[in-house]
């Protein structure tokens, strides 16, 4: 009997989907994430990345109480993106606690993790 993750992998193969890469990293590197998105898309991959920069001004910004709940929901959503992906690309020159947790989650699922720039790759 296959695990749900194995079923997902087999379904993606049957559908002949291109590889899916999820971009992770600090939101302060959103420009670099967009550049990586272009490179990965050009290489024929499906790219998913954070969809909301909560640090930049935006008209849809919730009040502080709602912001904490939204941040938690966005974290859950990003972990779902990691689960869906075939590989993870960590972008930017800094790996903080949130990104480190995403890397650990990806590795616990057996997902390959790449870094750009490569010298920021943490040992754990």
pLDDT tens readout for residues 50-104: 877 666 655 566 677 777 788 888 889 999 999 999 999 999 989 999 999 999 9
Strand partners, 91: 116
pLDDT score at 67 = 75
pLDDT tens readout for residues 107-123: 999 999 999 988 877 76
Length of the chain: 124
| Other Cβ atoms closer than 10 A to 113 | 17
Whether the Cβ atoms of residue 28 and residue 53 lie closer than 8 Å to each other? no
Between the CA of residue 114 and those of 3, 16, 22, 53, what are the distances in Å? 25, 23, 10, 22
Which tokens sit at 5?
A: 């993750």
Asked whether the bond before 43 is cis by omega within 30 degrees of 0, the reply is no
SS3 state at 60: coil
Between the CA of residue 69 and those of 99, 105, 112, what are the distances in Å? 19, 21, 30
Give dist(CA 98, CA 100) in Å, integer.
5
pLDDT tens readout for residues 15-48: 999 999 999 999 889 999 999 999 999 999 999 9
pLDDT score at 124 = 47
pLDDT score at 7 = 94
């Amino acid at each position: 009997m296959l695990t749900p993750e194995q079923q997902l992998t087999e379904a993606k193969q049957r559908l002949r989907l291109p590889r899916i890469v999820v971009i992770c990293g600090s939101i302060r590197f959103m420009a670099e994430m967009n550049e990586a998105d272009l490179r990965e898309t050009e290489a024929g991959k499906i790219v998913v990345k954070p969809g909301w920069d909560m640090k930049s001004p935006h008209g849809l910004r919730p009040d502080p109480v709602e912001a904490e709940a939204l941040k938690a929901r966005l974290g859950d959503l990003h972990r779902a993106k990691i689960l869906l992906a075939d590989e993870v690309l960590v972008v930017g020159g800094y790996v903080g606690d949130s990104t480190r947790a995403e890397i650990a989650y990806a590795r616990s699922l057996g997902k390959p993790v790449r870094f750009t720039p490569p010298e920021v790759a943490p040992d754990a």
